[in-house]
Structure 1
Amino acid sequence: MFKNKPFLSLVVVLSLVFAALPLSAAAQTAPAPQSASTNYDAALAKIEKTINERREELGIPGAALAIVKDGKVIYANGLGYKDLEKKIPATADTQFAIGSATKAFTALSVLIAQDQGKLSLDDSPKKYLPYFKINDPETDKKIVIRDLLDHSSGLTRTDLAMITGELTRKELIEITGLAKPTAKLHEKFQYQNIMFAAAGEISATVEKSTWNKVISSEILQPLGMNNSTTTIAAMTKARDYSFGYEYNFDTKAARRLPFREITASAPAGAINSSVNDMAKWVEFVASGGELNGKRLVSEKGYEEWTKPQMPIGGKVAYGLGWFIEDWHGLKVLQHGGNIDGFNAMVAVMPEKKLGFVLLTNVSGSPLTDEAKNIIWSALLPDAVPQKPAETPGKDAAAAQTFPKVSADLLIGTWATAKGTLKTDIRKDGDKVTLNVPGQQPYPLVAKPDGSFSLSPLPDSFSISAKVDASGKVTALSLVQPQGTVELVPTAPTEKPAITVEELHKKVIAALGGEENLRALKSRVVDADVDFVNQGVTGTARSYTEAPNMSATATTFSALGKTIGKAYEYFDGTNGDETSTFAPTDVWAGLKLDNARLAADFYRMLKWDENFSAIDIQSVVKVNGKDTYAVKFTPKKGTEYTVYFSTETFLPVKQDAMSVSSTSKQRLPYSEEYSDYRKVDGLMIPFVVTTNSLSMGKIVITIKDIKQNVPIDPKVFTHHDVALDKARSRKAGNAH
Structure 2
Amino acid sequence: MRLDRNLCHLRIWAFVLMALWPPAVWADPISPERMTTALSKLEALAQGAVEAGAVPGLAIAVVHDDQVIFLKGFGHREAGKPEPVDADTVFQIASLSKPVSATVVAALVSDHVVSWDSRIADLDPAFRLADPYPTSQLTIRDLFSHRSGLPGTAGDDLEDIGYDRATILHRLRFVPPSSSFRAGYSYSNFGLTEGAVAAAMQTGKSWEQIAEEKLYRPLGMASTSSRHADFLKRANRAALHIRVGDAWAATIQRDPDAQAPAGGVSSTARDLAQWVRLLLGDGTYAGKTLIAADALDPTHVPLMTRGKNPVSGGDSFYGLGWNVEFGRHGLSWGHAGAFSVGARTLVTIFPKDKLGIVILANAFPTGVPEGLSDSFADLVFDGSVEEDWVKAWDAIYAGMFGPMVEAAKARYAAPKSPARPAAPASTYAGRYANDFIGEATVSGEGGGVVLKLGPGGARSYPLRHFDGDLFLTNPDAETPERPTGVSFVVGPDGKASSVTIEFLDDNHLGTLRRVGD
TM-score (norm 2): 0.74
Q: Which residue of 1 aligns with 2:459?
A: 565
CA–CA separation in structure 1 for the residues paired with 2:56 and 2:385: 31
CA–CA separation in structure 1 for the residues paired with 2:420 and 2:87: 65
The one-letter code sitting in structure 1 at the alignment partner of 2:160 is: I
Matches for 1:491-530 after TM superposition, within 5 Å: 517=418, 520=421, 526=428
Q: Which residue of 1 aligns with 2:21?
A: none
The one-letter code sitting in structure 2 at the alignment partner of 1:74 is: I
2:323 aligned with 1:338, yes or no? no
Does the residue aligned with 1:288 lie in a helix, a strand or coil? coil
CA–CA separation in structure 2 for the residues paired with 1:351 and 1:83: 37
Q: Which residue of 1 aligns with 2:412?
A: none
CA–CA separation in structure 2 for the residues paired with 1:367 and 1:527: 47
Could you list the per-position Cα deviations for residues 525-578 of structure 1 after superposition, in whole angstroms to 9, with x for gaps in the alignment?
73999999x9325547599xxxxxx97633335xxx546423246699xxx977
Q: Which residue of 2 aligns with 1:220?
A: 216
Q: Using a 3 Å threshold, how does the CA distance of structure 1 residues 56 and 180 change in structure 2: closer, same or farther?
A: farther
Q: Which residue of 1 aligns with 2:355?
A: 354
CA–CA separation in structure 2 for the residues paired with 1:702 and 1:568: 20
Give 1:197's match in structure 2, choosing from 193, 198, 218.
193
Tell me by how many angstroms 1:365 deviates. 2.7
2:395 aligned with 1:456, yes or no? yes
2:247 aligned with 1:308, yes or no? no
Q: Using a 3 Å threshold, how does the CA distance of structure 1 residues 154 and 571 change in structure 2: closer, same or farther?
A: closer
CA–CA separation in structure 1 for the residues paired with 2:176 and 2:227: 31
Tell me by how many angstroms 1:357 deviates. 0.7
Q: Which residue of 2 aligns with 1:12?
A: none
The one-letter code sitting in structure 2 at the alignment partner of 1:87 is: P
Q: Does structure 1 conserve the Cα–Cα contact (< 8 Å) formed by 2:441 and 2:457?
A: no
2:156 aligned with 1:159, yes or no? yes
Q: Which residue of 1 aligns with 2:184?
A: 188
2:459 aligned with 1:536, yes or no? no
Give 1:230's match in structure 2, choosing from 223, 226, 229.
226
Could you list the per-position Cα deviations for residues 299-330 of structure 1 after superposition, in whole angstroms to 9, with x for gaps in the alignment?
21122111112222262111111111122151
Q: Does structure 1 conserve the Cα–Cα contact (< 8 Å) formed by 2:431 and 2:514?
A: no
Q: Does structure 2 conserve the Cα–Cα contact (< 8 Å) formed by 1:109 and 1:203?
A: no
**Higher relative contact order structure (alpha carbons within 8 Å, sequence separation ≥ 6):** 2
Matches for 1:426-445 after TM superposition, within 5 Å: none
CA–CA separation in structure 2 for the residues paired with 1:178 and 1:118: 30
The one-letter code sitting in structure 2 at the alignment partner of 1:110 is: V
Q: Which residue of 2 aligns with 1:114?
A: 109
The one-letter code sitting in structure 2 at the alignment partner of 1:372 is: S
Runs of 5+ in structure 2 lacking a partner?
A: 1-30, 309-314, 398-414, 467-471
The one-letter code sitting in structure 1 at the alignment partner of 2:508 is: K
Q: Which residue of 2 aligns with 1:365?
A: 366
The one-letter code sitting in structure 2 at the alignment partner of 1:697 is: H
Q: Which residue of 2 aligns with 1:695?
A: 506
Q: Alignment length, in residue pairs?
A: 451
Tell me by how many angstroms 1:74 deviates. 2.3
CA–CA separation in structure 2 for the residues paired with 1:536 and 1:352: 48
Tell me by how many angstroms 1:37 deviates. 5.7
CA–CA separation in structure 2 for the residues paired with 1:79 and 1:118: 41
Does the residue aligned with 2:254 lie in a helix, a strand or coil? coil
Tell me by how many angstroms 1:233 deviates. 2.4
CA–CA separation in structure 2 for the residues paired with 1:188 and 1:56: 43
Tell me by how many angstroms 1:184 deviates. 1.6
Q: Which residue of 2 aligns with 1:724?
A: none
Q: Does structure 1 conserve the Cα–Cα contact (< 8 Å) formed by 2:175 and 2:507?
A: no
CA–CA separation in structure 1 for the residues paired with 2:274 and 2:102: 18
CA–CA separation in structure 1 for the residues paired with 2:160 and 2:486: 26
Cα RMSD of the aligned pairs, angstroms, is: 4.2
Q: Does structure 1 conserve the Cα–Cα contact (< 8 Å) formed by 2:343 and 2:363?
A: yes
Tell me by how many angstroms 1:152 deviates. 0.8
Give 1:266's match in structure 2, choosing from 246, 251, 260.
260
Does the residue aligned with 1:236 lie in a helix, a strand or coil? helix
Richer in helix (by share): 2
The one-letter code sitting in structure 1 at the alignment partner of 2:132 is: P
CA–CA separation in structure 2 for the residues paired with 1:318 and 1:329: 18
CA–CA separation in structure 2 for the residues paired with 1:143 and 1:162: 23
Q: Using a 3 Å threshold, how does the CA distance of structure 1 residues 699 and 122 change in structure 2: closer, same or farther?
A: same
Q: Which residue of 2 aligns with 1:143?
A: 138
Richer in strand (by share): 1
Tell me by how many angstroms 1:335 deviates. 1.2
Q: Does structure 2 conserve the Cα–Cα contact (< 8 Å) formed by 1:245 and 1:255?
A: yes
Runs of 5+ in structure 1 lacking a partner?
A: 1-35, 386-446, 459-507, 544-549, 596-657, 659-670, 705-735
Matches for 1:62-101 after TM superposition, within 5 Å: 62-101=57-96
Q: Using a 3 Å threshold, how does the CA distance of structure 1 residues 53 and 522 change in structure 2: closer, same or farther?
A: farther
Could you list the per-position Cα deviations for residues 331-386 of structure 1 after superposition, in whole angstroms to 9, with x for gaps in the alignment?
1111122234322111111111111111111234322232331221122116989x
**Structure exhibiting the larger radius of gyration computed from Cα positions:** 1
Tell me by how many angstroms 1:153 deviates. 1.1
The one-letter code sitting in structure 2 at the alignment partner of 1:457 is: I
Could you list the per-position Cα deviations for residues 258-299 of structure 1 after superposition, in whole angstroms to 9, with x for gaps in the alignment?
543333322122221111111111222223222222222222
Give 2:452's match in structure 1, choosing from 534, 551, 555.
555
Does the residue aligned with 1:345 lie in a helix, a strand or coil? strand
CA–CA separation in structure 1 for the residues paired with 2:283 and 2:374: 24
Could you list the per-position Cα deviations for residues 161-196 of structure 1 after superposition, in whole angstroms to 9, with x for gaps in the alignment?
2234442x3322101122222222112111111122
CA–CA separation in structure 2 for the residues paired with 1:151 and 1:90: 34
CA–CA separation in structure 2 for the residues paired with 1:70 and 1:52: 25
CA–CA separation in structure 2 for the residues paired with 1:570 and 1:38: 63
Q: Aligned residues: percent identity?
A: 21
The one-letter code sitting in structure 2 at the alignment partner of 1:244 is: L
TM-score (norm 1): 0.54
Q: Using a 3 Å threshold, how does the CA distance of structure 1 residues 148 and 551 change in structure 2: closer, same or farther?
A: farther
Q: Does structure 1 conserve the Cα–Cα contact (< 8 Å) formed by 2:430 and 2:443?
A: no
Does the residue aligned with 1:368 lie in a helix, a strand or coil? helix
